Amino acid sequence: MSRVVSVLALQQAANIPTDARPTIAAVGLAYFVIVAIIGVWATRRTKSAADFFVAGKGIGMITLAISAMAATLSGFAFIGGPGLVYTLGLGAVFIILSASLTNTMGAWVLAKRLRLLAEVREMITIPDAIGARYQSPAAQGLSAVAIILAVVSYMATNILALGLVVDATFHVGMSNAIWLGTLVVLAYSVSGGILAGIYNDVFQGALMAGASTLVFWLALDSAGGMSAISRTLMAHDPALLVPWGKLSPLAALSFFFVFGLGAIGQPHVAHKYFMLRDPRKLKWYPVMMTIALTLTLLLFVGVGLAMKALVLQGKAAPLVRPDDAMPAFLLQFTPVPLAALVFAAVAAAIMSTVNSFMSIGAAAFTHDLPIALGWRVRDELRWGRIWTVVLTVVSAAVAQWSGAVVAFLGIFGWGLFASTLVPALAIGLNWKGATRAGALCSIATGMLVTLGLETLAYAKVFTFPSGVTATAIALVSSLLVFFAASWITRHSAAFTLAPDVRAVMEA
């Protein structure tokens, strides 16, 4: 669900009225203090690489669901989502309709097997699982390379967005804001690792859900309720309320496909499955995760439709950009303390995602690449912290680039995760006919197709037809290659499946 947070929309937040700035700054400061306290607590409990990367496999189901929700949404739910609904109407909802499908598949197709694999094998990363499934250090290393490329891309977009929020709140200048936000996340991530991230996610997720519910209620109330909103939209722009909105059916279904299936391959969420204390509790994951997402995504639809109705009713000025929907609504129609809470929730959403990417990126460097190359890292905890710093500094430097380049990197990151990990991981752990060649070819295909298409589109060599995205093409291509290569090498399927992995798949 994470997408690039609109740079322009967050810059709109810099127009906060002068009398509101002290309240927003105070709430932001209080938020950072709470984050720091959680980081100190987690540092005292982080004693090993397992603690640093997988929280000692000791978190409960409620914690897992809230943490996964917080890491999934990023800042897109608060900024980009309402802007899409404002522009496209109900067609944009196809992005979030896939959530319940993804949660169910994530629990029963992926989470159960990943958690059981962690019982029979010593593993702490997603590439670990791929390497174990195909008995292939090469597959583990190649998936780690894909993850590293995507992590830097994704972290850069989120760090840029975090810098914009910090600058809007504290007015320290954009460059300083990027590094200030980066240092806050880095401080608790380096010291407390994923354990600090998990419990910050719980705090941040609760903040996001609470803020979303309050804003949703105010959005409906400001525009006269759902009946008034519907009447206004039907009178002035009825296309917004038809099932596809202003999208073509192909585009809406493409959204559902990419976000429904592609989300399973997002490693910053899948990685958290290793951390669950009791895998028998997974039966509750789909409903708990869906409830958490529903509460948080209320504003995705509510603010988008309400702001459109408010503009049409003459109660709000027409928006310069659709992504201004959320900042404009907060500044015009909500109490200052609530606006401050939402700005903190945006920062919370971004920080949750950044922390998750820090962990999986550092693990790829510290753990997966050395295994693929036949090396041995003696102190994974120390090197995990070092690589966390390196990756974060590089990503923050990339975030200084122009917004267009960073936006390209964010889209590239999502597509790369989906196209390289869904076939080899999600399908491979459920299909005994998958082979080592199928995994290697599909990962390579996902990397090449995603990079090639996104680069050509960014350079404006061509534009995609309506309803078609590079991510969808790359995901379909890697799936087809995965099945074709596995069928061609089907004679080797039995030899690439270890007995303990087979037992996990049959459980």
Asked if the model's pLDDT at residue 167 lies above 70, the reply is yes
Alpha-carbon gap, residue 502 to 135, rounded angstroms: 12
Alpha-carbon gap, residue 89 to 196, rounded angstroms: 38
As a whole number, mean pLDDT of residues 446-458 equals 87
Alpha-carbon gap, residue 441 to 478, rounded angstroms: 8
pLDDT, residue 402, reads 54
Residue 437's alpha-carbon distances to 132, 145, 423, 482, in angstroms, are 14, 17, 12, 8
Asked if the model's pLDDT at residue 454 lies above 90, the reply is no
pLDDT, residue 235, reads 92
As a whole number, mean pLDDT of residues 490-506 equals 89
Worst-scoring range by mean pLDDT, 2-6, 33-37, 168-172?
A: 2-6
As a whole number, mean pLDDT of residues 308-336 equals 85
Listed ranges 40-49, 83-92, 323-332; the one with the highest mean pLDDT = 83-92
C-beta separation of 303 from 215 below 8 A: yes
Q: Three-class SS of residue 408? A: helix
Asked if the model's pLDDT at residue 56 lies above 50, the reply is yes
pLDDT band for position 1 (50/70/90)?
very low
| pLDDT per residue as tens digits for the range 176-188 | 888 888 888 887 7
- Is the model more confident about 206 or about 42? 206
| pLDDT per residue as tens digits for the range 349-383 | 777 778 778 888 888 999 899 999 988 888 877 88
pLDDT, residue 212, reads 83
Q: Which are the contacts of 278, defined by CB distance < 8 A and separation ≥ 6?
A: 60, 61
As a whole number, mean pLDDT of residues 282-306 equals 85
Instruction: State pTM to two decimals.
Output: 0.82
Alpha-carbon gap, residue 274 to 144, rounded angstroms: 17
As a whole number, mean pLDDT of residues 295-304 equals 85
pLDDT band for position 207 (50/70/90)?
confident
Q: Say how many CA atoms lie within 13 Å of 42 toward its Cβ.
A: 29
C-beta separation of 387 from 365 below 8 A: yes
Alpha-carbon gap, residue 49 to 56, rounded angstroms: 9
Asked if the model's pLDDT at residue 10 lies above 70, the reply is no
Listed ranges 65-74, 163-172, 485-494; the one with the highest mean pLDDT = 485-494
What angle do helix axes 403-421 and 470-488 make, rounded to 10 degrees? 30
458 backbone dihedrals φ, ψ, rounded to 5° = -65, -40
C-beta separation of 70 from 221 below 8 A: no
pLDDT band for position 193 (50/70/90)?
low
Residue 468 tokens, joined: 């078609």
Ramachandran region, residue 2 (left: φ > 0; alpha: ψ -120 to 50; beta: rest): beta
CA nearest 13: which of 332, 324, 319, 307? 324
As a whole number, mean pLDDT of residues 480-503 equals 92
pLDDT band for position 496 (50/70/90)?
confident
As a whole number, mean pLDDT of residues 61-89 equals 79
- Is the model more confident about 300 or about 50? 300
Q: Which residues pair with 276 in a beta bridge?
A: 59
Alpha-carbon gap, residue 225 to 219, rounded angstroms: 8
Alpha-carbon gap, residue 23 to 169, rounded angstroms: 9
Name the average pLDDT for the chain.
82
Q: Which residues pair with 64 in a beta bridge?
A: none
Alpha-carbon gap, residue 226 to 403, rounded angstroms: 36
pLDDT, residue 6, reads 43
pLDDT, residue 15, reads 55
Q: Three-class SS of residue 98? A: coil
Domains of the chain and CATH, by start: 7-506 (1.20.1730.10)
| pLDDT per residue as tens digits for the range 402-438 | 555 555 666 677 788 889 999 999 999 999 999 999 9
As a whole number, mean pLDDT of residues 387-406 equals 78
Alpha-carbon gap, residue 50 to 368, rounded angstroms: 14
Asked if the model's pLDDT at residue 84 lies above 90, the reply is no
pLDDT, residue 490, reads 93
pLDDT, residue 19, reads 65
